[in-house]
């Protein structure tokens, strides 16, 4: 990870956040990638049904076949596939974007991101293609901008040959960027209706998750122009609040259910059903200091807080990207939610109830086989594109599919 000078806007933000921090976040990886769960401890929890007890792994899921699509990468935070089969990913620390053809040929994509702030969990994060990408060629990215001192979402037009991302338009800026880059989010879900859902972290800032004037510790909902979508709170772009660090967003097939996944501190990673206008109970502000000992869903302080559909209990698993399995080849797991886990190096499959409010069973695939797993994107035909997050040029893009009968 490179070391860069913090310019004045970010330096001012650093002073504010330094005052707010009470509990440090320890790194969970020798590669300097700290987003594998927190420290400081939350309130004890027994977790949801199907959550792994300490020292007891989840049952194995279906047999899968795994193929390496690309290697030699360093923390490819997100991955997408265009309708022609071109796979696109970006390396978080450098901001380098790659296009990978079906032949395996890899080319660089030019994009004027400026300098990318790459400390902690910040950098080039979410990537998404517009629902009408074939016609519009529109691409969305979220990255950390040190000159502005924020995380921001930008819309681009992709060249026909993926040689460049052109005509940038900032759709959303002002998402807090911590001086150490902690809890940055920043997953983008491009909905078929043309709107964008954006999951953000709380930037290790105590008041942010409950402050409706802040874009951090939230799930945001905007149109493709960056304007608030119709269902946000007081026309503010804020759809839901009270989140710690949202890392996954997915639309459940054949429904209008949006599901999110986020990191807990030492306990209670969560999978949540996203209900517009709702609070999710994370409030780490303690007299102006960041206090991670509070519950992830503090229903004592916030009786109306939405309870998680699934929580890990202790220990945490550190969820990254999520995707729904949507092909009969997955057998009894067709329709399940697949959650990439960083700290525990596995994909956890979760069967959700019809209303999305509970998880009825879980299983694991790829456990311990490829190291930390970051992102999951479904492909036509039922396969999954999965990125690893081991750092130091050791990362891959994998294609994971059900094993042939």
> pLDDT tens track of the chain, all 405 residues?
333 333 444 443 443 333 333 333 333 333 334 566 554 556 657 788 788 776 678 999 999 999 999 999 999 999 999 999 999 999 999 999 999 999 999 999 999 999 999 999 999 999 999 999 999 999 999 999 999 999 999 999 999 999 999 999 999 999 999 999 999 999 999 999 999 999 999 999 999 999 999 999 999 999 999 999 999 999 999 999 999 999 999 999 999 999 999 999 999 999 999 999 999 999 999 988 899 999 999 999 999 999 999 999 999 999 999 999 999 999 999 999 999 999 999 999 999 999 999 999 999 999 999 999 999 999 999 999 999 999 999 999 999 999 986
Residues 5-14 as b/e (b if ≥16 CB within 10 A, e otherwise) read: eeeeebeebb
For residue 292, which of 238, 239, 240, 245 has the smallest C-alpha distance?
245
* pTM for the model: 0.91
**Can you read off the two tokens belonging to residue 356?**
């999305």
Q: Residue 58: CB partners within 8 Å, gap ≥ 6?
A: 50, 52, 346, 348, 362, 363, 364, 367
């Amino acid at each position: 990870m490179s070391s860069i000078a913090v310019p004045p806007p970010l330096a001012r933000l650093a002073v504010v956040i330094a005052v707010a921090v009470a509990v440090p976040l320890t790194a969970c990886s020798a590669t300097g990638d700290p987003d594998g769960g927190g420290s400081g401890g939350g309130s004890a929890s027994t977790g949801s049904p199907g959550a792994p007890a300490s020292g007891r792994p989840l049952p194995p899921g279906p047999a899968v076949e795994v193929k390496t699509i690309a290697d030699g990468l360093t923390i490819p935070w997100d991955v997408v596939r265009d309708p022609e089969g071109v796979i696109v990913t970006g390396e978080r620390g450098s901001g380098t974007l790659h296009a990978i053809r079906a032949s395996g040929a890899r080319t660089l994509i030019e994009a004027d991101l400026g300098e990318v702030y790459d400390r902690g969990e910040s950098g080039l994060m979410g990537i998404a293609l517009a629902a009408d990408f074939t016609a519009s060629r529109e691409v969305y990215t979220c990255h950390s901008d040190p000159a502005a001192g924020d995380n921001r979402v930008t819309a681009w037009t992709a060249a026909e040959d993926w040689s460049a991302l052109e005509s940038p338009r900032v759709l959303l800026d002002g998402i807090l960027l911590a001086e150490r880059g902690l809890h940055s989010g920043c997953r983008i879900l491009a909905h078929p209706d043309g709107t964008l859902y954006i999951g953000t972290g709380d930037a290790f800032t105590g008041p942010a998750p409950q402050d409706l004037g802040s874009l951090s510790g939230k799930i945001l909902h905007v149109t493709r122009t960056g304007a608030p979508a119709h269902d946000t709170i007081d026309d503010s772009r804020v759809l839901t609040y009270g989140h710690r660090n949202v890392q996954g967003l997915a639309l459940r097939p054949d429904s209008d259910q949006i599901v999110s996944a986020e990191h807990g501190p030492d306990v209670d990673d969560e999978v949540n059903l996203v209900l517009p206008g709702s609070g999710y109970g994370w409030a780490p502000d303690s007299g102006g200091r960041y206090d991670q000992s509070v519950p992830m869903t503090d229903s004592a302080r916030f009786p109306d807080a939405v309870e998680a559909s699934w929580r890990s209990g202790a220990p945490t698993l550190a969820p990254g990207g999520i995707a729904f399995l949507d092909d009969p080849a997955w057998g009894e797991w067709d329709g399940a939610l697949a959650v990439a886990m960083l700290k525990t190096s596995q994909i956890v499959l979760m069967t959700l109830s019809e209303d999305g409010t509970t998880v009825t069973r879980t299983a694991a695939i790829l456990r311990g086989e490829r190291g930390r797993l970051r992102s999951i994107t479904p492909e036509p035909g039922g396969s999954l594109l999965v990125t690893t997050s081991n750092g130091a040029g050791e990362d891959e893009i994998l294609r994971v599919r059900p094993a042939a009968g």
